[in-house]
Amino acid sequence: MRKLACLAMVFASTSSYSSTVQKQLQKEFDYNFASSIVLSDSDVFTFGFSNFDPNEFLNLDDELLGDSESVDLRKKVSVMSLPFSVPVNHYRYSPYQTKVNGRGYLLSAQQKISAFESSTPDEMDELTFGGYLEVEQEAYLNRNVTLSAAAGTHVMYYQNNYAYRSDTLEDYRDQIDGVYVNTSSVAMVGELNATVKYSPYGHFGQWYFWSSLHYFNGFGINLGKGDDAINPEGWYWVNGVKVFHRLAIWQNMVQSFYTSFNRVDIGGDTKKPLNTDHYYEASMGWLMTPPVKIPFVVNIGVGMSLNYGSAFKGGSLVLFFNQA
């Protein structure tokens, strides 16, 4: 979900340079799939329904905390992610547990693209939706430490719709339409991850430190006229702390205060779309369990998140779902 290079440059320069730009545009498919994997993981990135620049409220001038451009970018991108986790094999006195985890996600973005100095920018709408399923094996090494490893697969679909509002690209429309714009693609991406959690007193339901390393690699095809290979590849490593403070039980609903702080390092095809090699994310809010047991629902809540150092730096009011 990032701004494309000026499309007119593909055919407006020398053939050698044009070939380079074409490769850059083709790489956008890899970037979109890779960034969607990170942005849809609510443990490492949180989008909300109301965005703001924290500098305005804290009387600061830290460009890594947010600015008008990043807030505008957050407003143009929408993310919905529904994670779930289901234990499938757990014996009462066994230190081992098998889980099936996953999430469904939908990302959309709108952007305006100016070709040269055209007074009327073209418009582009992007949509990515996907599903992820993994099998996780978790082991309690002792009462303070758990170690888990998982392998899973993302199945993803991406499409974009490009509206030509200016006539700058009319001469190149046959070459780019259906190849880079007004096209769609699918991808299958495998992921491996490992997580270690540490709670000083074994109270993992109350607070814990955690470290989780994710690596993914996959392939895809352009469903339009493009015939170049799509190969999203990347990794991210999150280190942080989560705290759950139970406040009260009301009408069979457990009320809790939730807060988290993470540092996330990223690489591969995730690095360029987020315009950084690492960022920080802090969240806090109120959680409650449903009054009756609902399949796949652990808790829901509302709160606030702050992102520091990425292209999406800034703050948001957010809805939480299945925080654990």
Q: What is the mean pLDDT of residues 84-92?
A: 83
Question: pTM of whole model > 0.85?
Answer: yes
Give the span between the Cα atoms of 48 and 320, in whole angstroms: 9
Q: Quick: pLDDT tens for 126-164.
A: 999 999 999 999 999 998 999 999 999 999 999 999 988
Q: What is the mean pLDDT of residues 109-138?
A: 86
Q: What residue spans define the domains of the chain? A: 9-51+80-251+258-280
Q: Quick: pLDDT tens for 69-85.
A: 898 888 899 999 999 99
**Contact between residue 2 and residue 273 where contact means Cβ atoms under 8 Å apart:** yes
Q: What is the pLDDT of residue 14?
A: 43
Q: What is the pLDDT of residue 234?
A: 98
Query: Phi and psi (nearest 5°) for 136?
Result: -120, 135
Give the three-state DSSP class for 131.
Answer: strand
DSSP assignment of 138-179:
EEESSSSEEEEEEEEEEEEEEEEEEE--SSTTGGGHHHHBTT
Mean pLDDT across the chain: 88
Q: Which residue has the higher pLDDT, 253 or 226?
A: 253
**Contact between residue 227 and residue 195 where contact means Cβ atoms under 8 Å apart:** no
Q: What is the pLDDT of residue 119?
A: 66
Q: What is the pLDDT of residue 179?
A: 85
Give the three-state DSSP class for 22.
Answer: helix
253 pLDDT more than 60: yes
Q: Which residue has the higher pLDDT, 227 or 177?
A: 177
Length of the chain: 324
16 pLDDT more than 60: no
CATH architecture of the region 9-51+80-251+258-280: Beta Barrel (2.40)
Q: Which residue has the higher pLDDT, 101 or 143?
A: 101
Q: Residue holding tokens 């974009």? A: 160
Q: What is the pLDDT of residue 241?
A: 96
Q: Quick: pLDDT tens for 29-63.
A: 999 999 999 999 999 999 888 899 999 988 888 98
Tell me whether strands 50-52 and 207-222 are parallel, antiparallel or unpaired.
Answer: unpaired
